Structure 1
């Protein structure tokens, strides 16, 4: 069985060295590269064969969320795990939105990180109990907000936000991994529930109700 090839990106060398030592103690994992910032990785990424990038969020230049977004767009075969001291809703949801496959606190036990690597390598997402609870609370609040927004479903709210931000149906379909026809269906449902007639009215509704910011 071939090893899982991992790249580390963190601006703290001492932490990076400890992480590398931990991963190299596992016979299934190979650390093929390490970088102190995202831009250096991007310059050299074509030199590596890797399945997973483990990155911090706070780094000079490009942060970990921006790096995740770049990798998800340009290298769909590379999966990203964010390992951060920032455990709050905004960072977690932003990471999920740009395609992170796992989000973990830096103070987790080594065996949990190894487990996350295995899960992500198999094409699954991994969020531990702490992060999952934060996500769940956010979804519950979102559901409550949806009720105030004409009983929109979670998916309809996602489509509403993307339409209001100027994305075309094809772009929305690609981003949400659904068909263009499904996007049209969601838009029609949104218009019906909110009693709106045009996309312009939908955008005004989103701005007026602080669903998007100008």
Structure 2
């Protein structure tokens, strides 16, 4: 059985220890690293085989939302789950807009955390009932500060434009100074967000939405 590699980022060691204890009893999840702040993680992220980062929001230096944005841009194959004491809509919507795949309260039960990790690893998002209710109330009030977190990021749009223009993955990687694996991850994320399945469909989408021009 392939285990899901998880990294913990939280400035409270006692909380990290508690998370490790919860996850230690789960057969298909393994903690491959832990850090007290985002900056230390970034220094070593290339050496880790991380699939999921579980992070707090409030930390010294780079906060969890900024870390999520960084991962979405530089390491799109690594998915972010935010565990936070903050349950107001501004934090939740900011996390979603940054690319967080799950947002959960810190007092979550181990069984639900495990479920969230499993869903995120499958490429899905996970928000428990309490968080979902906060988001839905915000949307129903027509919150103008809300952003469509399903939209493509700037980097994803760059990848889409190059792919639609006929560049191969290696050429895209060279132009954007990223790895071929990162290009693949961006393409998978683009297809997932847009509900597309093939490169041909990506090209059609790019033409229809004027991302590329056809003479």
Taking structure 2 as the reference length, what is the TM-score of the superposition?
A: 0.70
Structure 2: where are the runs of 5+ without partners?
162-188, 195-204
Bigger Rg, structure 1 or 2: 1
* Structure number with higher relative contact order (C-alpha < 8 Å, ≥ 6 residues apart): 2
Query: Which residue of structure 1 aligns with residue 62 of structure 2?
Result: 62
- What residue in structure 1 maps to residue 109 of structure 2? 109
Q: For structure 1, list consecutive stretches of 5 or more residues without a partner in the other structure.
A: 146-153, 186-214
Corresponding residue number in structure 2 for 1:74: 74
**Take 2:97 and 2:210, find their aligned partners in 1: how far apart are those partners?**
21
Shift, 1:134, TM fit: 0.8
SS at match of 2:142: helix
Structure-2 separation of matches of 1:10 and 1:87: 17
Shift of 1:180: 4.3
Name the counterpart of 2:5.
Answer: 5
Give the distance between the partners of 2:208 and 2:33, measured in 1 at CA.
41
Alignment map for 1:48-197 (pairs within 5 Å): 48-142=48-142, 179-181=205-207, 183=209
Superposed CA deviations along residues 116-158 of structure 1, whole A, max 9, x for unmatched, are: 0011111110000000001111111227x6xxxxxxxx86xx9
**Number of equivalent positions:** 165
**How far has the Cα of 1:181 moved from its partner?**
4.7
Q: d(CA) in 1 for partners of 2:136 and 2:208?
A: 26
For the residue of structure 2 that corresponds to 1:61, the secondary structure is coil
CA RMSD of aligned residues (A): 2.6
Paired with 2:131 and 2:210, the residues of 1 have a C-alpha distance of 33
In structure 1, distance between residues paired with 2:88 and 2:111: 23
Work out the CA distance in 2 between the residues paired with 1:108 and 1:30. Answer: 19
- What SS is found at the alignment partner of 1:135? helix
More displaced 10-residue stretch of structure 1: 176-185 or 57-66: 176-185
Distance 1:97 1:183, change over 3 A: farther
The equivalent residue for 2:31 is 31
Return the alpha-carbon distance in structure 2 between the equivalents of residues 75 and 103 of structure 1.
19
- How far apart, CA to CA, are the structure 2 residues paired with 1:105 and 1:181? 42
CA shift in 2, pair 1:183/1:97, >3 Å: farther
